Structure 1
Amino acid sequence: MSWNPMPIEELWILLSQSDSPSLLKKFLTLELYNKLKDKKTLRGGTLANCINTGCLHFRNNAGIYACDPEAYTVFEEIFNKVIKEYHKIESLCHPEPYYGTEEEIAALGNIDPEGKMVISTRVRVARSHTKYPFIPACTLEDLLNMENDTVTALKTLTGELAGQYYPLARMDKATEAQLVADHYLFRHDDITLRDAGLYKYWDTGRGIFYNEDQTFLCWVNEEDHIRLISLQKGGDLAAVYKRLVKAIHEMEDRMTFARRDGYGYLTFCATNLGTTLRASVLMAIPNVSKQANFDDFLAKHNIQSRGTRGFGSAVEDGVHDLSNKHRLGLTEYEAVKEMLNGVLAIKKWEEELAGMKKNA
């Protein structure tokens, strides 16, 4: 399946006549639209490529995606406004990577040593090859070459990171369904990502790498070129994060990833720049999640909540996917700490409410 956006004039009419709450609608004025509509990146990326899905699906928060790394420069007058507003920063001055010392990582500890609330913990980062565009601007050959470059590097990993690569194109449907059900494998059923060009040439050049214990994964050409993921059952955040940091360093020894001053690591999604790090727990909070001020509490602690099965899914039995909201303007270690502090506050609140309910 190839992909082409709608004509820019039609997209503008849809957006301008809508009541979309997106940041794209907020910042793309007629004057700015006229200034950017005919510009192109060196790879032929256009404003239409970047805003297609935001003009078709108004629930999209940001409403804009980068078709290739250069889009952040060519269309920076709209991207910078959206990025600053979404990440709540006044200037684009992302710090250099900092993952924490061995002592700092160990101090993250176990969020739920009693094993009463936290079902699993995962931390992931996204990375983009410097020599390839993002998927919406990729050719079929690009996808295959990216897959080959990534898998070649992954196959050199040793110790607990060593594993096998399973290309999606050769995966039987039963295995694919089971990996999706186990929260290991990505899906391709999100219409906003489809209309952003993410599913072009599906399932060519895509797959998953994982170690024997399935505690380290790498998604190849899902949303970003690479998603490095560390996960395990329970709440041992220190162990999960330590494994991910090791994987990041190992992969960065083997290939070069796209970065830009002020932006940090470059990704397809403007909401995922900077550290690109998302630290999360799958956590049962049936009492807290029923409180009228639950959303305000999350916002206060810079925590995002997703459904039980991740982005776009429903909450089942009070089980939420809780993660850090901020990825830009802070270090990797600070992002993990922000998630930890927020989740510990939620855990304490859940314990208090459960105790009150028990004693009532």
Structure 2
Amino acid sequence: MGTKKFIEDALSEWMRGGGTDADIVISSRIRLARNIGQYPFPMLATDQQANNVLEEVSKVLQQRDLNDIQNFEILKLNDMDKLEKRVLVEKHLISPNLANDARNGGVLLSENEAISIMINEEDHLRIQCLSPGLQLDQSFQLASEIDDVFEQQLDYAFDEKRGYLTSCSTNVGTGLRASVMLHLPALVLTQQINRILSAVNQVGLTVRGIYGEGSEAIGNLFQVSNQITLGQSEEEIIENLYSVVKQIIEHERSARATLLDEQYTSIIDRSMRSYGILSHAHIIDSKEAAQRLSDIRLGIDLGMITNVSANILNELMVMTQPGFLQTYAGKNLNAEERDIRRAEMIREHIK
């Protein structure tokens, strides 16, 4: 496949929609943090030690058990330029931390891009599985199968009392981070979002933007994930997240019903106005584009807009990011040039 396939093809399989509650849940993600016992954590490792980790993980790629799950390819970040790494971040296949700071970092990617295994990020291994809609159990089952293959080949850093040992103390124990990406425009418009998010924080969960920790919640997209990894089983963590997410979904559905009941004219105007702007704009920045794409997606979900695919939010949220715009252009672009290209790409897809 090579790097080119993962860089030039904008859409991963999980971005194409589907799954349970797909009108509100964009994706489900399971991430397992693991380390190899005989090497220091990545932040303390020498270049040689980091390279040894990369080589040991690469050997597992040759195992039949792993390839029975999916066809994988390894990409070494030292062989990639800054723009290529940025595209992988925009597709949620690697973290900003791995792209910017990792030494001798790499990523194992499955052919359908539903699985990415980051190497030498904050931990030696971060096994990530992505699914469309609310499919936490399915993602966890897949991640566990992959984890079992690696655990047979590598000597994990594990303590009988503390569980899996990780670079950051907040991941010690199960090493599990489960998260769900939600589109919550109605809760934002009815000004209920802060109350909901405050309640989420009080039950051991956290809310972040679309690229995880430190990122902004643009386009009414929010990532809800667990904070606690020690003292709970994987099943308990997932069950707690699932239960809370289902409640958020019900609140969003109720808020959408309220908007239809009490603000129908203003909501259809908002959705169609954004549709009109994106259909004709010749320059638009990323923040406005994200908000107007969210408005259109809400109009689609409420049955107000019928001639546009519901996947438009998933697709264009990625395709209009700076890395992709420059990849399609085949050259570096300044901010204004990116805004012009973004508007052109949206016009083409809207029509």
Q: Structure 1 length normalisation: TM-score?
A: 0.63
User: Counterpart in 2 of 1:149?
Assistant: 56
Residue 169 (str. 1) matches residue 68 (str. 2): no
The question of whether the paired residues in 2 share the 8 Å contact of 1:308 and 1:321 is answered with yes
The question of whether the paired residues in 2 share the 8 Å contact of 1:302 and 1:342 is answered with no
Q: Deviations over 1:294-316 (max 9, x none)?
A: 23310243321001221111111
How far off its partner does 1:211 sit?
A: 0.8
The question of whether the paired residues in 2 share the 8 Å contact of 1:209 and 1:217 is answered with yes
Give the gaps of 5 or more residues in structure 1: 1-109
Give the 5 Å matches for 1:252-263. 252-263=151-162
How far off its partner does 1:232 sit?
A: 2.4
Cα RMSD after superposing both structures: 2.2
User: Counterpart in 2 of 1:316?
Assistant: 218
> For residues 205 and 107 of structure 2, what CA distance do their matches in structure 1 show?
28
Give the gaps of 5 or more residues in structure 2: 1-16, 263-351
Give the 5 Å matches for 1:53-132. 113-132=20-39
Which of these residues, 81, 92, 95, is aligned with residue 186 of structure 1?
A: 95
How far off its partner does 1:248 sit?
A: 1.1
How far off its partner does 1:111 sit?
A: 11
1:311 and 1:144, CA in 2 relative to 1: closer, same or farther beyond 3 A?
same
Q: What SS is found at the alignment partner of 1:136?
A: coil
> For residues 32 and 78 of structure 2, what CA distance do their matches in structure 1 show?
24
Which structure is higher in helix share?
2
- Write the letter of the residue equivalent to 2:94: L
Identity over aligned residues, as a percent? 27
Q: What SS is found at the alignment partner of 2:141?
A: helix
- Write the letter of the residue equivalent to 2:115: F
The question of whether the paired residues in 1 share the 8 Å contact of 2:106 and 2:118 is answered with yes
Which of these residues, 129, 143, 146, is aligned with residue 244 of structure 1?
A: 143
The question of whether the paired residues in 1 share the 8 Å contact of 2:21 and 2:133 is answered with no
Q: What SS is found at the alignment partner of 1:166?
A: strand
> For residues 204 and 257 of structure 2, what CA distance do their matches in structure 1 show?
26
User: Counterpart in 2 of 1:307?
Assistant: 209
Q: What SS is found at the alignment partner of 2:123?
A: coil
> For residues 112 and 243 of structure 1, what CA distance do their matches in structure 2 show?
16
Q: Deviations over 1:94-126 (max 9, x none)?
A: xxxxxxxxxxxxxxxx99624201111110110
> For residues 296 and 174 of structure 1, what CA distance do their matches in structure 2 show?
37
> For residues 201 and 72 of structure 2, what CA distance do their matches in structure 1 show?
38
User: Counterpart in 1 of 2:165?
Assistant: 266
Q: What SS is found at the alignment partner of 2:23?
A: coil
The question of whether the paired residues in 2 share the 8 Å contact of 1:122 and 1:230 is answered with yes
Q: What SS is found at the alignment partner of 1:137?
A: coil
1:216 and 1:189, CA in 2 relative to 1: closer, same or farther beyond 3 A?
closer
- Write the letter of the residue equivalent to 1:330: Q
1:210 and 1:293, CA in 2 relative to 1: closer, same or farther beyond 3 A?
same
User: Counterpart in 2 of 1:336?
Assistant: 238
> For residues 34 and 186 of structure 2, what CA distance do their matches in structure 1 show?
37
User: Counterpart in 2 of 1:278?
Assistant: 177
1:112 and 1:163, CA in 2 relative to 1: closer, same or farther beyond 3 A?
closer
Q: Deviations over 1:132-179 (max 9, x none)?
A: 111232111111111111111133221233301000000234422211
> For residues 238 and 330 of structure 1, what CA distance do their matches in structure 2 show?
16
